[in-house]
């Protein structure tokens, strides 16, 4: 696989505040990467650097281009949906399609109209007449009609109800994603995307604290639910996190052979949400 994004020692300061702190990572083509972090962790700043919206220290390459110096060329192959779908409120849907068709060489109007026919959005409707969910559907229909190599989603379903969120991700997988495209998504609804992801990255205080494939998580992390003497024995192996649930101690281990925990209690692979909480608490401690 080839790296679509390559970052080496990337940092970004705003005055004395270090928003991104010496991060290095690679994103291969054909992947769906989840960038997960608490508020203020540096996610949006890092995305802005990838999109050429802010400069940074270090070396950053997207599709072999410098995002800040070669942004015009780069944006021909990138699509972006922010946490607030910014579309002019006065414009009509058909006018918006006219505009995108005129400025983007890789946009298929026919494809966009086919996608919109699957929604309740009318061609003559103004953006201000649409609900938040419909605006997101409109934005996604346009994005999926552009032949781009990289799709960047920054909290794309923020504020939408669960039906819209499920439909959004289903459409994304069924109608857009293929092995030639790469998706980078940030979200607080970790449980809804973990089954979609091929790779995961946790960021906290501007630093990457986890960068792994989803497949590798089961080989590295394990949870055990134990009680009594078994819990004491398991605790001796040094869990990175422990919580109480239904009278049992649920301990999360990193790099511990599951065979060493056999007989102490029920073993399972932790959810991404549980792993995220444990890693963030560990980093802050």
User: What is the number of other CB atoms lying within 10 angstroms of the CB of residue 235?
Assistant: 15
What separation in angstroms does the CA of 186 have from each of 6, 22, 156, 157, 189? 18, 20, 8, 10, 9
Buried b vs exposed e over 23-56: b needs ≥16 C-beta within 10 Å? bebbbebbbbbbbbbbeebbbbbbbbbbbbebeb
Q: What percent of the chain has pLDDT over 90?
A: 58
Question: What gap in Å lies between CA 260 and CA 22, rounded to an integer?
Answer: 36
Q: Which residues contact 206 (CB under 8 A, 6 or more apart)?
A: 11, 12, 18, 19, 20, 21, 23, 41, 42, 45
Question: For 98-109, what is each residue's pLDDT tens digit?
Answer: 999 998 888 999
Question: For 213-268, what is each residue's pLDDT tens digit?
Answer: 999 999 999 999 999 899 999 999 999 999 888 888 999 999 999 988 888 988 99
Q: What CATH class has 3-205?
A: alpha beta
pLDDT at 283: 79
Q: What is the pTM of this model?
A: 0.87
| Domain locations in the chain as residue ranges | 3-205, 217-284
pLDDT at 281: 87
pLDDT band at residue 147 using 50, 70 and 90 as cut-offs: confident
Asked if 199 contacts 34 with a C-beta cutoff of 8 angstroms, the reply is yes
Question: 54 by DSSP, 3-state: which?
Answer: coil
pLDDT band at residue 272 using 50, 70 and 90 as cut-offs: very high
Question: What gap in Å lies between CA 119 and CA 30, rounded to an integer?
Answer: 28
């Amino acid at each position: 696989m080839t790296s679509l994004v390559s970052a080496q020692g990337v940092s970004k300061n705003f005055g004395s505040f270090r928003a991104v702190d010496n991060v290095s990572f690679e994103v291969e083509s054909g992947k769906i990467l989840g960038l997960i972090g608490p508020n203020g962790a540096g996610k949006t700043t890092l995305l802005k650097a990838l999109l050429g919206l802010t400069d940074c220290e270090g070396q950053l390459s997207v599709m072999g281009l410098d995002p800040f110096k070669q942004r015009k060329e780069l944006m021909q192959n990138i699509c972006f949906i922010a946490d607030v779908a910014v579309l002019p409120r006065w414009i009509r849907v058909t006018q918006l399609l006219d505009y995108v068709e005129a400025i983007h060489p890789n946009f298929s109007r026919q494809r966009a109209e086919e996608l919109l026919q699957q929604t309740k959005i009318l061609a003559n409707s103004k953006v201000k007449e649409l609900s938040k969910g419909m605006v997101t559907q409109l934005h996604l229909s346009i994005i999926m009609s552009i032949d781009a190599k990289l799709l960047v989603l920054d909290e794309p379903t923020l504020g939408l109800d669960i039906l819209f969120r499920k439909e959004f991700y289903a459409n994304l997988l069924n109608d857009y994603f293929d092995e030639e495209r790469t998706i980078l998504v940030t979200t607080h609804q970790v449980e809804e995307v973990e089954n979609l992801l091929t790779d995961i990255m946790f960021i906290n205080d501007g630093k990457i604290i986890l960068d792994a494939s989803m497949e590798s998580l089961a080989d590295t992390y394990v949870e055990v639910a134990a009680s009594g003497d078994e819990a004491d024995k398991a605790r001796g192996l040094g869990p990175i996190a422990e919580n109480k649930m239904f009278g049992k101690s649920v301990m999360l281990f990193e790099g511990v052979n599951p065979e060493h925990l056999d007989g102490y209690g029920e073993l399972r692979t932790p959810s991404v949400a549980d792993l995220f909480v444990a890693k963030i608490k560990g980093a802050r401690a």
